[in-house]
Amino acid sequence: MSLLTIILSILIPPLAVFLKHGLGTTFLVNLILTIIFWVPGAIHALWVNSKG
């Protein structure tokens, strides 16, 4: 995971997931988590981007 991915995962979680995995279910889940509350979206983005 690059430094840019880590920074984007913390600041703008949906963008980080979109750049790594494209527009799909992972992006939509992250977008919903970020809209509900920012912290779960950031945690999800870090987790998804770190594993693959």
Q: What is the pLDDT of residue 1?
A: 72
Q: What is the pLDDT of residue 52?
A: 67
CA dihedral 17, 18, 20, 25 (to 10 degrees): 70
Q: What is the pTM of this model?
A: 0.89
Band of the pLDDT at 36, cuts 50, 70, 90?
very high
Among residues 37, 43, 36, the alpha carbon closest in space to that of 6 is found at 43
Tell me what the mean pLDDT of segment 14-24 comes to.
Answer: 95
Domain that holds residue 38: 3-51
3 pLDDT exceeds 90? yes
**Distance (Å, rounded) from C-alpha 51 to C-alpha 2?**
13
Tell me what the mean pLDDT of segment 21-33 comes to.
Answer: 96
Domain count, the chain: 1
